[in-house]
Amino acid sequence: MNIQFILFVLLLTSLSSNGQQKYGKNELSFSYFKGITKTNISNFQEISSSNYYTNYLYETARPTQTVLGYSYGGNYLRKINRKLGISLGFRLTKRGQKSPKFRSIVGIPDNSLPEGYGESFYRFTMKSVETPLLLHYDFYQANRLILFSKLGVSTDIYRVFYAEYLIRKTGRNEFQVSSSQTLFNAKTSLLKQLKIHIGEDIVRFGGVGGLGAKFRIFSFFYLKTEFEFSYYGDILRSKSKNPTTIVRGSAYAFGLNSGIIFKF
């Protein structure tokens, strides 16, 4: 947390610097990330309200596999000098994990059912809000191309978690949600979710890093693409009055982040 405070002070300091310098540029970007994610849930048996989800799950198929996830949001960057900048972001994120596929039909001859019928798996999804505070370094600058790296710290504020049991009921490779379980009201507004969970310290801390490129289209408009990795540790503590609704464990994601940049 101290590192994040120091980076925030640097951001404020850069904003108060002489804006007439050639490198004194601001960047406002909007991006979309998609990649491999994993939420290493460590207390699923505690948060589950159904023995069907706990006992049968851990006897049949543990949720050990990664899933595709995404995040999207905005980012403000202030240049400290020609190559170094500091940014603050806000983005909505979805991560998860799933179990291997298994057969849930017992005692029925396979030849009496459509091919693949009864194949099932569990899927778990956690939605959160990330607020990355990062240092950016442009290690290569040309007329229309900038190569950069970024590294910093971030908070991950828990919003909602839901578990789904999916089953294949036709010969096609299509799975339907058979049952589901949600922790925290998914219909509650984003602001209310953040207010409750920040107040209860349901927050993870971690790091974000990446390597990427910016392509100049106009003097004020760039396209960007980057490889990004993020990792968050477990919730350090919580003041929640209902701890059985809190998903514990680390989380990570890596993939491609693409977007647009406006310079001013």
**pLDDT reported for residue 175:** 78
- Band (pLDDT 50/70/90 cuts) for residue 140 is very high
What are 44's two structure tokens? 């699923």
pTM, whole model, 2 decimals?
A: 0.81
Q: What is the DSSP string of 115-158?
A: TTTTEEEEEEEEEEEEEEEEEEEEEEE-SSEEEEEEEEEEEEEE
CB 203 within 8 Å of CB 209: no
Average pLDDT, the chain: 81
pLDDT tier for residue 8 given thresholds of 50, 70 and 90: low
Q: C-alpha dihedral over 189, 230, 210, 150, to 10 degrees? A: 70
Please state, for a pLDDT cut of 90, what percent of the chain lies above it.
45
Three-state DSSP state, 209 = strand
Examine the pLDDT at 68 and tell me if it is beyond 70.
Answer: yes
Question: What's the pLDDT at 177?
Answer: 78
Check pLDDT > 80 for residue 13. no
pLDDT value for 107: 47
Categorize the per-residue pLDDT at 88 as very low, low, confident or very high, splitting at 50, 70 and 90: very high
What is the CATH topology of the domain spanning 2-97+125-161+184-263? Porin (2.40.160)
pLDDT of residue 58: 58
Segments making up each domain of the chain, as ranges: 2-97+125-161+184-263
Of 4 and 185, more confident: 185
pLDDT tens, residue by residue, 90-104: 999 999 998 888 776
User: Residue 51: its pLDDT value, please?
Assistant: 44
Average pLDDT over residues 132-144: 96
**Range of 46-55, 158-167, 240-249 with top mean pLDDT:** 158-167
Per-residue confidence (pLDDT) for residue 230, from 0 to 100: 97
Of 2, 38, 5, 4, the residue nearest 154 (C-alpha): 4
- Tell whether the model's pLDDT for residue 20 goes beyond 50: no
Give the pLDDT mean for 166-175. 70
Q: What's the whole-number mean pLDDT along residues 197-214?
A: 91
User: Burial code of 146-169, b = ≥16 C-beta within 10 A, e = fewer?
Assistant: bebebebbbbbbbbbbbbbbbbbb
Provide the 8-state DSSP code for 80: S
* Residue 244: per-residue pLDDT: 62
In this structure, of 50-59, 158-167, 233-242, the range with the lowest mean pLDDT score is 50-59
pLDDT in tens, 43-67: 766 665 544 455 555 566 777 899 9
> Confidence band (pLDDT; 50, 70, 90) for 145?
very high
